[in-house]
């Protein structure tokens, strides 16, 4: 039989057990559907950490932007063309200044007997242009003095397309002799004159392509004809003098083997405003100082600047 004290303790234990079972391990909290406070705090902390963590998004592929040079039609009015570095010979400006100084007297044969001085300035324009072309055809492989003499004899008989076509080959040969290859030139002059009469009304063509298509007319003659007869700079006229001097001064990126190859090499870098001047300048320089054989290097202002002079 239990004592009153033991009976009271047993009753208290029974009530506590009954209450614990009624709550259970996940019993709802006090209030309407709310969870216990400790659980709410843990979940709130977890949500806070989740909200502060960076959101991982799929990386966006980067596009490589490539700029292309637009065509002339695509460029704006203020767009500047791309500047491409161009090779040029070392010290060429000073060499040119020195050549001009040595040529300042203008007393070389080319200066008073060249193509510009061989035609009749009082003749009609069409006849003047024809005489310019004829003097150029005669000048190939011929000194200026000989070419000028032949032109004087031809002009004395009235130098026109019609007069040449009416002259027999033997007479024409005597008039132009002793120009170089005079027999071949008689044939070329007759053939070219006939073409000019038939296709151009006695005038000469106004393009390099048409000029070089004529018998006996080469690129140098065509460019000089464009400059003297038509007043148009179409390219650099390169003869044996210009070809020789350009290679001696190393004005070509590599050694050239022909005047036409030299022309192309010079036109790659020489400023266009110098194209008209360079032929007469170098021809006279080659006639007086930079001779084909035994050049006068001691009298040349470019002796210290000329690569070829260093090897002589």
Residues serving a catalytic function are: 220
Q: Are 131 and 137 in contact (CB under 8 A)?
A: no
Residue 70 CB neighbours (<10 A) = 10
Distance CA 159, CA 64 (A): 70
For residue 260, give both structure tokens: 């036409």
For residue 311, give both structure tokens: 């090897």
Token pair 């709310």 in the structure block, residue = 34
120: left (phi over 0), alpha (psi -120 to 50) or beta: beta
Q: Are 263 and 236 in contact (CB under 8 A)?
A: yes
Q: Which residues contact 176 (CB under 8 A, 6 or more apart)?
A: 138, 150, 153, 154, 182, 185, 186, 189
Q: Are 99 and 242 in contact (CB under 8 A)?
A: no
Which residue, among 162, 148, 140, 82, has the nearest Cα to 112 in the 3D structure?
148
Taking the alpha carbons of 265, 270, 274, 279 in that order, is the dihedral positive or negative? negative
Distance CA 75, CA 81 (A): 9
Residue 301 CB neighbours (<10 A) = 16
């Amino acid at each position: 039989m239990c004592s009153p004290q033991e009976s009271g303790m047993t009753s208290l234990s029974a009530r506590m057990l009954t209450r614990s079972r009624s709550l259970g391990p996940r019993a709802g909290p006090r209030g309407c559907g709310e969870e216990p406070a400790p659980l709410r705090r843990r979940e709130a902390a977890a949500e806070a950490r989740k909200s502060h963590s960076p959101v991982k998004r799929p990386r966006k592929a980067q596009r490589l932007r490539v700029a292309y040079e637009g065509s002339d039609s695509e460029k704006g009015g203020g767009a500047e063309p791309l500047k491409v570095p161009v090779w040029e010979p070392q010290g060429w400006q000073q060499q040119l200044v020195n050549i001009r100084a040595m040529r300042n007297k203008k007393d070389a044969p080319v200066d008073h007997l060249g193509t510009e001085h061989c035609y009749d300035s009082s003749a009609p324009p069409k006849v003047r242009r024809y005489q310019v072309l004829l003097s150029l055809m005669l000048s190939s492989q011929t000194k200026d003095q000989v070419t000028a003499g032949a032109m004087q004899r031809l002009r004395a008989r009235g130098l026109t397309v019609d007069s040449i076509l009416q002259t027999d080959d033997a007479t024409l040969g005597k008039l132009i002799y002793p120009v170089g290859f005079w027999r071949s030139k008689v044939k070329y002059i007759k053939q070219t004159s006939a073409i000019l009469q038939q296709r151009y009304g006695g005038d000469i063509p106004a393009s390099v392509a048409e000029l070089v298509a004529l018998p006996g007319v080469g690129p140098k003659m065509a460019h000089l004809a464009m400059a003297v007869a038509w007043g148009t700079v179409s390219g650099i006229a390169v003869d044996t003098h210009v070809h020789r001097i350009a290679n001696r001064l190393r004005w070509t990126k590599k050694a050239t083997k022909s005047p036409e190859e030299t022309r192309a090499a010079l036109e790659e870098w020489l400023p266009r405003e110098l194209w008209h001047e360079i032929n007469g300048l170098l021809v006279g320089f080659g006639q007086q100082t930079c001779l084909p054989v035994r050049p006068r290097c001691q009298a040349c202002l470019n002796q210290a600047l000329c690569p070829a002079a260093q090897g002589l």
